[in-house]
Chains A and B, each alone.
Chain A
């Protein structure tokens, strides 16, 4: 008892000392930081069934005005049915050292706010709001979270990113496990002080990370999980174990019913080959099951899919429900289809098996044993595997168990925008151009998704706005768009662009730039490579997809003019990228061709500098002038 009191007193003294943060010294030490995380501690006390009690201690200090908003809220969510969450302590320590507890009004336990198509009615958010913060204020929170519904029974796994938007002075993660649960762990791209102790038949694992610099984001950088230090730990023996677990979890919902049988017959009617049937089923599920999540269901919340029968009745579901539905339909026509777990948008580390996935898709096992991946969540994709799932790690889930594997990366030729222009130049300098755009892959998906979200009149406004930006005073007419709901046909678009006064008359000379030059009409590529402006980068530049842009233009010249000068040819190659263009006289006038391709997703070091050189050159192509001379005019 006395000993305990002594410990308590020591604890109190430590708390008093810790309350006195020298924020000015920290601000001088971290001039780029809005705030600094002084202490971040998490413990996980895990039982053999995989349930655990987690405690969190978090202490951070505001160093600049912008840090006030950053630290004004602290929250975490829990599954109402199985979890419990409690804020044990939340205080504000003002710059003069005064400690003010956050009152009950500042701690809210809310239904989870709606976010996009996610309406998780049985998930709650505990939100601590810190009022009246100022530069130099410190916030401190202690929370308990009891998780009683492990997705994968009798296991524990964690993937923790050890760096964030603010510097961290000290970070500690402690996991206590029964001796019967062997643990594998690894720190990627960094290190941690580690120790393990045994106490009462349980092992206490502890990782401590010292000062971590803040992550200063760069445009188009990979997600933090790919570039920051990450601690992965798991009691799961192999990826095959995870594969078998999810195969078992999804098997139950894959029962065919008379209604599902009728649906398959209706969708595949007239499709004689199995490939055509697969495509018809994929398109139908993509388009007709709308993407929405209404609740966590069952004990395996976030993992267990709704039965196919229920998804048909609802005609809505989240990724795992749509995947389960498509697997069920594909199996009914004899296709060896499987559920797949994947981390969309993130190329995760895979040495340590775990269950930290954010998406579910489908795989078909081919005769040669390889898999074709399909993502029915992508409602507007003609490709089975949209760009966000490519070159990511996917786990095909089967009864025998599979190991994790990288998904294929589509070559640039399958992510291509072909733009054909038929241009007529008037003697007055006016340009009239018939533009035909034929997108594939990411281009088709992005245009289809964007244009499909708006009424037809706004689609015309979009093209008119784009043309007006490229060519002052330009107008667009005769816009022809395909049926954007029909995934069987590419999203071929065409329109006529009229732009007055584009040619400059100088005596007997007529000088102009052809509209196709420099990829002015390829808006998506400009957006994808927009991050390549910085002369140097700390992190690689990540393109969303491999891309290719091809422009073919024919220019009909005004009568009585001859070509005096043409833009110079270009043919450049850098690691992962290529750029070429040519402009030559042809009987009907001029033929202009230009192409750009990027065959890699990541660009760093010399490859990044090469990409920058090519992009700079490409933008300068817009200045390429064609000079015409009126016949009989002065030489």
Chain B
């Protein structure tokens, strides 16, 4: 009886003490970013990892992990609400980590209402896109110098039908973007 009570308490303590225990995250957060080196940038992508695991019958899982340091107000307005597109009829999107790392070292996590699932704007335009969904994370407390950390998983819904004739796996990943990227990887 005692042990079952103790275990959640320990887990809570560990969770609070180590909000960013992932060594890759620690390294990325420690990486110095000289804003003067990126005069055109509103933000710098410190880490952008994508892991795609192919399953049978086209049932794939995609995991993404991003850390973005905000350098300018422009980026604060443009990217503090991160959007992850997925298909609502056959996939689910789980946000595994969403955290604002403040320049002071403190962290803020979105409240429940700050992680949203809405339709893609295209859904209203045509019935074909009516299952297009966006998981949106509105990061709290964002300020210049803060780092936005987002880790998510898109996976097939258990009840989703296998595709009868799944297409060959294909995709496109851009290793660059509108802001400079310091480290990016794709694991297939």
Contact = CB atoms under 8 A, between A and B. Distances in A.
Tell me the interface secondary structure of chain A in the complex. mixed
A316 B140 contact: yes
Interface string A151-195: 000000000000000000000000000000000000000000000
A292 B81 contact: yes
A457 interface: yes
Contacts of A453: 74, 78
Nearest to A455: B40
B143 interface: yes
A111 interface: yes
Interface stretch (A116-124, A247-255, A608-616): A116-124
Interface string B71-91: 011101110110100000000
B80 A485 contact: no
B147 to A, nearest CB: 15
Interface centre among A288, A295, A314, A457 (most CB of B within 10 A): A314
A133 to B, nearest CB: 13
Given A108-B127, A294-B114, A117 B142 contact: no
A113 B73 contact: no
Contacts of A73: 124
Nearest to B133: A111
B121 A114 contact: yes
Contact of B41 (A105, A106, A111, A455): A455
A316 B123 contact: no
A455 B108 CA distance: 28
Interface residues of B, number: 36
Interface centre among A111, A287, A454 (most CB of B within 10 A): A111
Contact of A75 (B72, B124, B142): B124
A314 B41 contact: no
Contacts of A84: none
B73 A457 contact: no
Interface in A275-319: 287-288, 290-292, 294-295, 297, 313-316
A452 B75 CA distance: 10
Contact of B124 (A127, A294, A455): A127
Given A114-B136, A455-B40, A119 B124 contact: no
A596 B40 CA distance: 37
Contacts of B119: 110-114, 125
A405 B76 CA distance: 36
A115 B121 contact: yes
Q: How large is the interface on A (under 10, 10 to 19, 20 to 34, 35 or more residues)?
A: 35 or more
Contacts of A604: none
Contacts of A125: 119, 124
Contact of B123 (A106, A110, A120, A456): A110
B130 A313 contact: no
Contact of A315 (B40, B83, B113, B142): B142
B76 A290 contact: yes
Nearest to B141: A315
B77 A111 contact: no
Nearest to A108: B130
B117 A121 contact: yes
Contact of B140 (A113, A129, A315): A315
A321 interface: no
Nearest to B126: A129
A110 B130 contact: yes
B23 interface: no
A290 B142 contact: yes
Interface in A330-372: none
B114 to A, nearest CB: 6
Given A115-B121, A294-B116, A457-B40, A314 B140 contact: yes
Contacts of B40: 455-457
Given A114-B121, A114-B134, A129 B73 contact: no
B74 to A, nearest CB: 6
Contact of A295 (B72, B108, B116, B141): B116
Contacts of B111: 314
B112 to A, nearest CB: 9
B141 A120 contact: no
Interface in B84-143: 108, 111, 113-114, 116-124, 127, 130, 133-134, 136, 138, 140-143
Interface string A69-89: 000010100000000000000
Given A111-B117, A455-B41, A316 B80 contact: yes
Nearest to B41: A455
B108 A313 contact: yes
A294 B73 contact: no
Nearest to B113: A295
Given A119-B136, A456-B40, A485-B73, A314 B118 contact: no
B41 A113 contact: no
Given A127-B127, A292-B80, A485-B72, 14 more contacts: A110-B130, A112-B118, A113-B123, A115-B121, A119-B81, A120-B118, A121-B116, A121-B117, A287-B73, A313-B140, A313-B141, A316-B140, A455-B74, A456-B39
Interface of A: 73, 75, 105-106, 108, 110-115, 117, 119-121, 125, 127, 129, 287-288, 290-292, 294-295, 297, 313-316, 379, 452-457, 485
The 8 closest A-B pairs by CB, nearest first: A121-B116, A113-B119, A455-B40, A129-B127, A314-B140, A113-B124, A295-B113, A119-B116
28 contacts: A110-B130, A111-B117, A111-B133, A113-B119, A113-B121, A113-B122, A113-B123, A117-B81, A119-B136, A120-B118, A121-B117, A125-B119, A287-B73, A290-B76, A292-B80, A292-B138, A294-B114, A294-B138, A295-B116, A297-B113, A313-B108, A316-B80, A379-B77, A452-B74, A453-B78, A454-B74, A456-B39, A457-B40
